[in-house]
Structure 1
Amino acid sequence: MVLVTTLIGTEAMVRDRLRVWRAAGVDTVRPYPAGQTLRARLDTLGRAMELVREVDGRS
């Protein structure tokens, strides 16, 4: 269940999950980026935004 409802794993896994959600009509994602420091969390958030743009065709 965790893998189906969260964006965890490799970038390929996250990209695939975003595609599944997009196909199901999901148009809003609320990220909680992982990281030990603020910088790490911001980096994770930035990469997540890039993956969303890729899936959405706006890369």
Structure 2
Amino acid sequence: MVLATTLIGTEEMVRRRLGVWRDAGVDTVRLHPAGETLDDRLQTLGRAVELVRAA
């Protein structure tokens, strides 16, 4: 069981990695969005949701 990882790379690389996880049966991903302010973190979280949907 993997308890933590980091998604680093281009959006395409992250999208592909999320697709691999989905194909492997992963159905839950917990995100801890980066950013110095709440607005930064919310923006990062929103983009992550878009990438998950596109995977």
TM-score normalised by the shorter chain: which range applies? Answer: 0.7 to 0.9
Matched, 1:6 2:27: no
Deviation at 1:31, TM superposition (A): 0.4
Tell me which protein shows more helix as a share of its residues. 1
Greater length-normalized contact order (CA 8 Å, ≥ 6 residues apart): 2
Counterpart CA distance in 1 for 2:28 and 2:8 is: 17
Normalised TM-score (structure 2): 0.82
Compute the displacement of 1:27 (Å). Answer: 0.4
**Cross-structure match for 2:47:** 47
Gaps of 5+ in 2: none
In the TM superposition, what whole-angstrom CA distance separates every residue of 1:3-43 from its partner, at most 9, and x where no partner exists?
Answer: xx322222112101101101110000000101111101000
Identity of aligned residues (%): 75
Aligned residue-pair number: 51
